[in-house]
A and B are shown apart, each in its own frame.
Chain A
Amino acid sequence: MLELRELVKHYEVGEGEPVRAVDGVSLSVQSGELVALYGPSGSGKTTLLMLIAALLRPDRGEITLEGRKISSLSERDGARYRLQELGFVRQTLNLIPGVSALDNAALKLLGADVTPRQAHRRVIPLLEQLGLGERLRHRPEQLSMGERQRVMIARALSTEPKLVLADEPTGSLDSRRGREVLELLTSICRERQVAVVLVTHDPQAARYADRVHALHDGCLVPYESARARVSADLL
């Protein structure tokens, strides 16, 4: 479903060597599959996500989603793609303060020209599935961090995307809440046959993936060797 072929993205920084943020990455992800990209800070994870989200254009290579070329979308088409076909779950919980969980979750649907009433109707089952049925009218400041992240997941899934990109979704949570959130995310995506690309440097998160790849200096490397290298570096 999602195909990355020989993706390259380099940044020019000063007069030195260019930074090879993504350097010849090829990857395919199927519907309902969860692929984890593991890597330390600066390994190119976020750049790769930005490429997949059509927020950056690759220097070389190609991205396709169900055969449609993503890597050369215009700004307007890129926005439409993110709105209708992509869900984004981020580490920062950008909920609007003072607005109910229900309205926060329905926010993305409003951009798709769905009326508020219909949007509410569509996200309520999702929020219930995520265990927030009792907290629909609660405001973000009245929710725990885990609950806030679940609202973000509901928002990402509200437009029934084909692909979800999850950028460190457990980064702000403790391990128990992180586990809960990952379990919910994976089960719902599998049930809805949504492909998930999960970017993390949390080894625990990798356990929920069907496949785990590691990124090191912009290249995909076997997960175990990457872990070992990180551990050695830390020691």
Chain B
Amino acid sequence: MNRAMTRLRNILLLYRVRLRARMVQELFAIVGIAIGVALLFSSQIASNSLGDSVSELIGGVVGKMQLQLVARSPQGFEQRLLGEVQRLPGVGAAMPVLEQRATVAGPRGQAAITLFSTGTRYAHLGGPLMRRFTAAQIEHQHAFALPLPLVRSIGLGSLQSTELQIGSRRQQAFVGAVLLEDEVGGLIDSPAGIAPLPYAQQLGGMQGRLTSILVQPVRGHEREVLAGLRRLARGRLDVQSTSYEGALFNQAAGPAKQSALLFSAISALVGFLFAIAAILFTTPQRRGLVEDLRLDGYPRRMIVEVLLFDALVLGVVASLLGLLLGDLLSLALFRASPGYLSFAFSLDSQRVVTVASAVLAAAGGLFASIVGVLVPLRKDILSPLLLQSGRRFSPRRRDHPPEVAGVLCLVTTTVILLRAPGEAILGVVSLVLGLLLLLPATIRLVVLVFEGLTRSRGSAASHLATVELKSDASRARSLAIAATGAIAVFGSVAIQGAHANLQRGLDASTHAVNSFAGMWVSPSGPGNLLATTPFPDRFKGALARMPGVRSVQIYRGGLLDFGRRRVWVLAPASSVARPVPASEIVSGVDVLANARLRAGGWIAISQAIAREHHLRVGQEFLLPSPRPTRLRIAALITNIGWPPGAFIVNAGDYAHAWGSTDVSAYGLTLKPGVPTWRIPAELRRALGPKSALVAETAAQRERRGHLTSRQGLARLTQISSLVLSAAVLAMAAAMGAMIWQRRRRLADMKVDGFGRGILWRSLLIESALLLGGGCLSGALFGLYGQLLLTRALTLVTGFPVAHTIGALTAIGNLGLVTAVALVILAVPGYLAACVRPAIMLQD
């Protein structure tokens, strides 16, 4: 014990003594690792926040309830079913719930919320959000409660009257209470409101109706209760676990999470390489230390312990700094943006930081430190000491295992691309590995080509740069720098390219879907972009009588839970010429499919769903609607931009399958020459001020759609830009430090008569070749990655994706990273070239 303590004390002393001499290098390494850890940590927070916030909100409502009987449409089911559920043998408790999508307006704007309601007698059975019903303020009042941040964001206060819109109804409602954090905990950021059941039923025109009943079976009676609930459901309601909503959300958020995971991986790699590059600057000092310790007779084990201590200090300090930076980064940039998913799920913008994310990021930092400290010194530690000075010439080995492994990785990626595009993440990992393994050969090739081009007519600076790049004094560091650029450009080209393809595909879908009508009339509010809010079909006559309107078509649509998917159902009128947009058809004949849809009895379903259920065009399909209906499949389609998938039926079939004549929108065809701007005013005149229906042109809806899809994909762009910026800074810093360390050699060359200008230019040429070579590899591999990701998005997720190769993006990123890094580098390069030659000769 004493011996171990003494050894530790000695190691600590040795560390302190050496630290004074290499403080700057150590600080540089710490910053490098910290940036890597920050990138990893912040992207982890971003990808976790979305999913965890949904789970938290669900938990806030359902509490310990295990099962639920759920309506298949927002119209719900009759409340009397509650009594039947309570009477089922084995039911310990049953809680009625009415869940309605609403829009609340205040002086500073409006917000889409989910209004949860239950009877005050039952509230104690639910989660923290529902338990708030016991509060005296709202128990006996006609009032609802909202969380404080939401109230503030729209400029409301407690005990104020406000405008609440549910479906096509707009009415005054009273904010009876404001929910505080100490009452609802983490749910404080949820876009949710609560109201007593009778009041909420009155607000939504849902008197005597519920959307779900939460059930707590008596222990040991779970199966019995499940069977009883299924009997009561009679195939028209769903019986699910209370965690079902979370599962649905996870499926819907799958593509977003996958891309976030991919970004996390790329961020981690960039960070890791940056950290390695940074640590390599401290290698010469450590190499000297190892040599001294070995000469002094230290055993290898102790030398490794000394180095591990170094790595540990570096890793711990840098990881702590990185976690702090990452936290700030996620606050500033990566706030979870629910985007388009909020149309179907209650999402908040809460930031969820898990211990696992922090541990993972810190472990990454520690790992990078240990690898960076130990690996470059392995030969210095392991080789026999006596041979170090007496090494004689041995022919250079000419085997190429890294290149062979690199080519194998490329082959693997190609196999994944062709045979298993669903494994896109694996494909990207193998592609990145291939890129890294082939990078040394690529840089050698770049140098060889450059040397060939300048051999007979290049300048002195270019020749000097070539000589320096052929040297292996700084090869490891150079490669780490080039690899950082390569990975960053790879990530940005691959993701930006796939992102651009996805965006183009989504834009095309938005255009096609909104072209069902020239002018749309539907309930207003940010949560109704998909036109899924039903309302009674009472306004067709009034709309038809409006001046300038030639005809009115009905449009129905909604969301339907099918398996693990919340599917978007589109139901245009049978008079619409193309209910199935040609751009969305993946399998099936365009004209025939449209004719069948118009005729009725047919359905178009997303390819991803069809694949999951082994369905083909022409087959019969049982639509799990409130009134299950058999339809034939007319075509397989993309998911029309909705990740879980879509169904298209005609409006008549929808009404039959849902057992309701409610509509979701009206499509207006105007008389020739009637300006569209007159319609909103005419609408207000026709329907009165209390109506929540608003008129929008197809182009206006399309613009909203574009905006939302861009918001949904915004994080990809943000992370991509951040990774790119971090890489530029990392490369410039690493390269700058490498050049700065070379001042003695530059001084030596100045003694030989080389001028400042030549040396500076040679440093810049060297940097340009290194960075350009690395980034060029990254761009080329990035294009391949784009192909892989685009194919995965098309085939696996069923997104409407345009197939283009973003060569311009690749060239742009390649040029941008190299140019910015060179501009930054020019300063340390110039300062290093100004070194006094005399330092080489001073006594």
Contacts and interface: CB of A to CB of B under 8 A. Distances in A.
Interface of A: 41-42, 46, 49-50, 53, 55-56, 75-76, 79-84, 86, 88, 90, 92, 94, 96-99, 103, 107-108, 110-113, 115-117, 135, 138, 141-143, 155-156, 167
Contacts of B466: 116
Contact of A111 (B394, B456, B464, B475): B464
B391 A141 contact: yes
In the complex, the 6 A-B pairs of residues with the closest C-beta atoms, listed nearest first = A83-B753, A98-B472, A82-B753, A97-B473, A142-B393, A110-B463
26 contacts: A46-B842, A50-B841, A55-B751, A56-B838, A75-B756, A76-B755, A79-B753, A80-B753, A80-B755, A81-B753, A82-B752, A83-B754, A88-B752, A92-B840, A96-B473, A98-B475, A103-B467, A111-B752, A111-B753, A111-B754, A115-B457, A115-B458, A116-B455, A116-B463, A116-B466, A141-B391
A167 B842 CA distance: 11
Given A111-B752, A143-B393, 4 more contacts: A56-B838, A80-B755, A96-B467, A111-B460
Interface of B: 391-394, 451, 455-460, 463-464, 466-468, 470-473, 475, 744-745, 748-756, 758, 837-838, 840-843
Contacts of B467: 96, 99, 103, 107, 110
B752 A155 contact: yes
A103 B753 contact: no
B471 A108 contact: no
Contact of B843 (A41, A84, A86, A141): A41
Nearest to A159: B753
A108 B841 CA distance: 18
A42 B475 contact: no
A96 B755 contact: no
Contact of B468 (A53, A96, A115): A96
Given A42-B843, A96-B468, A86 B753 contact: yes
Given A98-B475, A103-B470, A107-B467, A142 B456 contact: no
Contacts of A88: 751-752
A103 B838 CA distance: 24
Given A42-B843, A98-B473, A117 B455 contact: yes
A94 B838 CA distance: 15
B460 A142 contact: no
A97 B841 contact: no
Nearest to B748: A94
Contacts of B455: 115-117
Interface centre among A42, A53, A79 (most CB of B within 10 A): A79
Nearest to A80: B753
B463 A55 contact: no
Given A83-B753, A103-B467, A115-B457, A97 B840 contact: no
B143 to A, nearest CB: 79
Given A42-B843, A112-B460, A97 B471 contact: yes
Contacts of B843: 41-42, 46
A80 B394 CA distance: 39
A167 B837 CA distance: 15
Given A46-B842, A103-B470, A111-B758, A117 B456 contact: yes
Nearest to B396: A139
Nearest to A53: B751
B658 to A, nearest CB: 75
A2 to B, nearest CB: 17
A82 B752 CA distance: 6
Contacts of A107: 464, 467, 749, 752
A99 B471 contact: yes
A175 B459 CA distance: 41
Contact of B754 (A79, A90, A143): A79
Contacts of A156: 752
A217 B841 CA distance: 18
Contacts of B837: 55
A214 to B, nearest CB: 17
Contact of A142 (B391, B463, B464, B468): B391
B383 to A, nearest CB: 13
Contacts of B391: 141-142
Nearest to B759: A111
Given A42-B843, A111-B754, A94 B745 contact: yes
A142 B751 CA distance: 26
Contacts of B753: 79-84, 86, 108, 111
Contacts of B459: 113
Given A42-B843, A94-B745, A142-B393, A50 B755 contact: no
Contacts of B470: 98-99, 103
A115 B756 CA distance: 20
B440 to A, nearest CB: 13
Contact of A98 (B456, B460, B471): B471
Given A115-B457, A116-B455, A142-B393, A49 B841 contact: yes
Contacts of B751: 53, 55, 82, 88, 90
Nearest to A78: B753
Contact of A115 (B456, B473, B752, B754): B456
A172 B561 CA distance: 82
Nearest to A135: B393
B836 to A, nearest CB: 8
B450 to A, nearest CB: 12
A156 to B, nearest CB: 8
A155 B752 CA distance: 9
B393 A138 contact: yes
Contacts of B752: 82-83, 88, 107-108, 111, 155-156
A123 B394 CA distance: 24
Contacts of B744: 94
B602 to A, nearest CB: 71
A90 to B, nearest CB: 7
Interface centre among A86, A88, A143 (most CB of B within 10 A): A88
A90 B837 CA distance: 13
A49 B752 CA distance: 13
A84 B393 CA distance: 33
A191 B749 CA distance: 26
Contacts of A53: 751, 841
A55 to B, nearest CB: 5
Interface centre among B392, B470, B475, B752 (most CB of A within 10 A): B752
Nearest to A84: B753
Contacts of B755: 76, 79-80, 111
Nearest to A199: B841
B105 to A, nearest CB: 71
A130 B514 CA distance: 84
A167 B472 contact: no
Nearest to A141: B391
Contacts of A110: 460, 463-464, 467
Interface centre among A76, A81, A90, A107 (most CB of B within 10 A): A107
Contacts of B458: 115
A69 to B, nearest CB: 18
A183 to B, nearest CB: 23
A175 to B, nearest CB: 17
A88 B392 CA distance: 27
A117 B467 CA distance: 13
Contacts of A155: 752
Contacts of A81: 753
Contacts of A80: 753, 755
A227 B471 CA distance: 43
A83 to B, nearest CB: 3
B841 A167 contact: yes
A106 to B, nearest CB: 8
Given A94-B745, A98-B473, A103-B467, A55 B838 contact: yes
A53 B468 CA distance: 25
B475 A79 contact: no
A94 B840 CA distance: 10
A56 to B, nearest CB: 7
Contacts of B451: 116
Contacts of B471: 96-99
